[in-house]
Amino acid sequence: MFKGSIVALVTPMAADGAIDEAAFKGLLDWHMESGTAGVVIAGTTGESATLGEAEFVRLLELAVAHTAGSMTVLAGTGSPSTSETIKRTALAASLGADAALVVTPSYNRPSQRGLLAHYRAVADAAELPVVLYNVPARTAVDLKPETSLTLAAHPNIVAIKEAVADEQRVAALVEGGLAVISGDDPSCCERMLAGAQGVISVAANVIPAEYARLCELALSGQAEQARALDARWVELYAFLGVEANPVPVKWLLWKLDRIGPGIRLPLVTLDQRWHKRGEVLAHALEGPVALN
Rounded CA gap, 211 and 209, in Å? 5
Contacts of 276 (CB under 8 A, 6+ apart): none
H/E run at residue 158: strand 157-162
Catalytic residues: 133, 161
pLDDT-derived band of residue 89, with 50, 70 and 90 as boundaries?
A: very high
CA distance 130 to 7: 17
According to the model, what pLDDT value does residue 292 have?
Answer: 42
Q: Examine the pLDDT at 287 and tell me if it is beyond 70.
A: no
Q: What is the mean pLDDT of residues 104-131?
A: 97
Percent of the chain beyond pLDDT 90?
95
Q: Where do the structural domains in the chain lie, given as residue ranges?
A: 4-232
| Maximum C-alpha span of the chain | 50
Cβ atoms within 10 A of the Cβ of 278, count? 18
Q: Taking the C-alpha atoms of 39, 45, 47 and 48 in order, what is their torsion angle to the nearest 10 degrees? A: 60
What's the chain's Rg over C-alpha atoms? 18
Q: What is the DSSP string of 93-117?
A: HHTT-SEEEEEPPPSS---HHHHHH
194 and 174 Cβ atoms separated by less than 8 Å: yes
First to last CA, the chain: 25
CATH code of the region 4-232: 3.20.20.70
Number of residues that make up the chain:
292
CA nearest neighbour of 88 among 60, 114, 111: 60
Taking the C-alpha atoms of residue 214 and residue 217, their distance in angstroms, rounded to an integer, is 5
Distance separating alpha carbons of residues 23 and 20, to the nearest angstrom = 5
What is the mean pLDDT of the segment spanning 64-85?
Answer: 97
pLDDT of residue 286: 84
Strands 72-76 and 130-134 come out as: unpaired
Rounded mean pLDDT of the chain?
Answer: 96
Query: Is 79:55 a contact under the CB 8 Å cutoff?
Result: no
Q: Is 107 left (phi over 0), alpha (psi -120 to 50) or beta?
A: left
Q: Percent of the chain scored above 70 by pLDDT?
A: 98
Does the pLDDT of residue 289 top 80, yes or no? no
- Cβ neighbours of residue 170 closer than 8 Å, sequence gap 6 or more: 162, 180, 182, 191, 194, 195, 196
Nearest-angstrom CA–CA distance, 281 and 263 = 20
pLDDT of res. 222: 98
d(CA 162, CA 136): 10
d(CA 183, CA 187): 9
Q: With 50 as the cut, is the pLDDT of residue 55 above it?
A: yes
What's the rounded Cα separation, in Å, for the pair 10 and 253?
9
| pLDDT tens, position by position, 2-37 | 999 999 999 999 989 999 999 999 999 999 999 999
Distance of CA 11 to the CA centre of its chain: 12
Angle at 88 between CA 155 and CA 92, to 5 degrees: 70
